[in-house]
Copies of this chain bind each other. A is one copy, B any other.
Amino acid sequence: MRRDSRLSRMLHVLIHMDRHYKRATSETISKMLGTNAVVVRRTMAGLRDFGYVRSEQGHGGGWELARGLDQITLLDIYEAIGKPPLFAIGPSVDQPECLVEQAVDAKLGDALKEAEALLLERFRTVTIADIAADFDRRMPEGRCNIHGDIHAEQSASS
Contact = CB atoms under 8 A, between A and B. Distances in A.
Contact of A3 (B15, B89, B101, B102): B89
A132 interface: yes
Given A89-B5, A90-B3, A114 B122 contact: yes
Interface residues of A, number: 60
Q: How many copies does the complex hold?
A: 2
Nearest to A93: B34
Interface in A52-103: 74, 84-93, 97-103
A120 to B, nearest CB: 9
B98 A12 contact: yes
A139 interface: yes
